[in-house]
Structure 1
Amino acid sequence: MTTVASTTSSTSTNTAAAASTAASNASTVDYNQFLQLLVAQLKNQDPTQPMDSTAYLSQLASFSQVEQQTNTNKKLDTLLSASALQSADAAIGKTVTSADGTVSGTVASVSLVSGGAPIATLKDGSKVTLDSSVSISG
């Protein structure tokens, strides 16, 4: 009787090891990487020794949580952008004074900066960052 070593189990082991190494090398795994790892694991599992159903359900629950968190982050970004636009709109035509009082004037325009506070350009050309330390008056 001849025995043949299963190549599927070694492929599965290699894939799992590569996935584990990739996950440990990266500080975080994003949504797409998580999905690719899950699909690779499912494709390369040994049919004679399928994955434990509780582990599979746990991974699906993790996948669902990652998806929900991604959607929540997108909604939060949208809300923050809307808030920045409202702040910028409210500042145009108002008088602003920097926290130290060195810069003061009427706001002519406002620029939105990704991930930061809006920057107001005054009528005299000077610029002030519209953060909580700036006073805005009517």
Structure 2
Amino acid sequence: MAVDAVSGVSGATGSSAAATASQKAQVDYDTFLKLLVAEMQNQDPTKPMDATQYISQLASFSQVEQTIQTNQRLEQILAASSIGQAGSMIGRTVTSHDGSITGVVEKIELYDDGVVAILDTGERVAIGSGMTVS
């Protein structure tokens, strides 16, 4: 995802990861329900499973699903925070951790694995620990 240096507007590519996680959670939920129905259909009628076990399984799975959704929301919040922080670097001078690259940030590109600053010199610098921003 890139933040334009002039407008500060970013592209929306981070939402694809959340959509993939949501689809995976839905597949898991569907699979759980299919297994639960199959278990009910194939149980011994003379020894039926206790209803509290079904409710317990469903409650456990519901809790896991809610945790997945909470994690997705937290990832969205962190991504929004990263965009805000990255946008604030535009126009500032950065120096790489080893001091070999220095320049004014013209543009920021956000990726799933980190942030890259595009400098006025055309050089690209990965934003990370040890970097100086002034």
Report the TM-score when normalising by structure 2.
Answer: 0.70
Q: Give deviations 1:50-78, integer Å, cap 9, x for gaps.
A: 22223212201211111111111111111
RMSD: 2.0
CA distance in 1, matches of 2:30, 2:71: 15
Q: Please give the secondary structure, in 2, of the residue aligned with 1:45.
A: coil
After TM superposition, the structure 1 = structure 2 runs for residues 52-91 of structure 1, keeping only pairs within 5 Å, are 52-91=50-89
The alpha-carbon distance between structure 1 residues 40 and 111, as it changes in their structure 2 partners (threshold 3 A), is farther
Equivalent-residue separation in structure 1 for 2:30 and 2:132 (angstroms): 44
- 1:39 and 1:103, CA in 2 relative to 1: closer, same or farther beyond 3 A? farther
User: Structure 2 vs 1, CA of residues 133 and 31 (structure 1 numbering), >3 Å: closer, same or farther?
Assistant: farther
Q: Which runs of 5+ in 2 are unaligned?
A: 1-26
Residue in 2 that maps onto 1:17: none
**Secondary structure of residue in 2 paired with 1:112:** strand
Cα distance in 2 for partners of 1:97, 1:31 equals: 48
* Shift of residue 100, structure 1, vs aligned partner: 0.8
Give the match's secondary structure for 1:54.
helix
* C-alpha separation in 2, matches of 1:136 and 1:30: 44
Alignment of 1:1-138 (within 5 A): 30-114=28-112, 116-137=113-134
Higher percent of residues as strand: 2
In the superposition, relative to structure 1, how do residues 32 and 111 fare at CA in structure 2: closer, same or farther (>3 Å)?
farther
Quote the Cα distance in structure 1 between the aligned partners of 2:127 and 2:42.
Answer: 54
Counterparts of 1:97 and 1:43, CA distance in 2: 66
**Greater C-alpha Rg:** 1
The Cα offsets for residues 65-107 of structure 1, whole Å up to 9 and x where unpaired, read as 1111111111111111111101210111110111111111000
Name structure 1 gaps, 5 residues minimum: 1-28
CA distance in 2, matches of 1:133, 1:37: 51
| Distance of 1:123 and 1:83 partners within structure 2 | 24
Aligned length: 108
2:130 match: secondary structure = coil
